[in-house]
């Protein structure tokens, strides 16, 4: 640890002292340690600092990534960049710094989170942003990537769907995987890993899972607009898809 420890932000106390991942979210322009239970969950309205510590022959190695959500303010993004430099100085100037933009993350960054990061709409960082609702929110994700899963939350609308990709519909009681007729086997397999992650992280491992295959393309897309308009028909329509009707 360098002599710059004296000017260390309290949030960085003890950073880089063990192998693994550490994350801070920028709140009111200050870094705040993120609970490990929230690791991998990134809100589009926020900016984050991620420290990855590795062990080598010469001691610890450091990679610092600052992740900028697509709706994060310039001030928050600037704070993340400044605090990244500060953290690097505290670590003796030995860290490699990386800038990560939502939707364009490096494979190195994504490799820290298995099987994927969970990008979510909204933010927690300041008074002018609404925090995530406590009640469960149905979300539609597009899942891409053969080696590293890259998922993106897309509008819950029929226009979000296509036949070339794999989609995950996460509802309160069940998670649906829709395999577009032109999607590839590797992405379908990665989507299953993502579903297991969602099931364990947000459903206590108890919800059901359904795979909607190529034969149900027309059914899925035809009913999707109805689902968007009237949430009360979820059960009956999704049951039809499960049973191929």
Quick: pLDDT tens for 172-194.
888 989 898 899 999 999 999 99
Other C-beta atoms within 10 Å of 147: how many?
Answer: 10
More confident residue, 73 or 224: 73
At 227 the pLDDT is 54
pTM of the model: 0.76
- Whole-angstrom Cα Rg for the chain: 20
Is the bond preceding residue 115 a cis peptide, omega within 30 degrees?
yes
For the beta sheet containing 174-179, the strands, ordered from the edge strand earlier in sequence to the opposite edge, are 150-154, 139-144, 166-170, 174-179, 208-212
Whose tokens are 């995987």? That residue is 177
Going by pLDDT thresholds of 50, 70 and 90, the confidence category of residue 232 is very low
Residue 228 has pLDDT above 90, yes or no: no
At 229 the pLDDT is 47
Region 72-93 average pLDDT = 95
At 127 the pLDDT is 41
Sign of the C-alpha dihedral computed for residues 83, 84, 90 and 93 taken in this order: negative
At 217 the pLDDT is 54
């Amino acid at each position: 640890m360098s002599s710059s420890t004296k000017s260390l932000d309290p949030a960085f106390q003890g950073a880089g002292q063990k192998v693994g991942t550490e994350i801070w979210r920028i709140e009111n322009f200050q870094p705040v340690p993120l609970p490990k239970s929230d690791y991998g969950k990134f809100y589009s309205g926020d900016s984050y600092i991620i420290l990855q510590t590795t062990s080598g022959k010469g001691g610890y190695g450091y990679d610092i990534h600052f992740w900028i959500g697509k709706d994060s303010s310039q001030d928050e993004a600037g704070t993340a960049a400044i605090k990244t430099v500060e953290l690097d100085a505290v670590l003796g100037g030995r860290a490699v710094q990386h800038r990560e933009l939502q939707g364009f993350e490096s494979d190195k960054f994504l490799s820290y989170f298995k099987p994927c990061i969970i990008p979510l709409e909204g933010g927690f960082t300041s008074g002018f942003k609404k925090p995530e609702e406590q009640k469960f929110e149905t979300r539609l994700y597009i899942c891409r990537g053969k080696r590293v899963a890259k998922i993106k939350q897309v509008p819950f609308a029929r226009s979000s769907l296509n036949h070339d990709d794999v989609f995950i519909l996460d509802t309160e009681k069940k998670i649906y995987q829709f395999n577009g007729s032109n999607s590839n086997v590797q992405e379908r397999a990665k989507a299953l890993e993502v579903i297991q992650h969602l099931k364990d992280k947000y459903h206590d491992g108890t919800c059901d899972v359904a795979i909607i295959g190529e034969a149900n393309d027309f059914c899925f897309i035809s009913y999707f607009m109805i689902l968007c308009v009237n949430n009360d028909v979820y059960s009956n329509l999704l049951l039809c898809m499960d049973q191929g009707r």
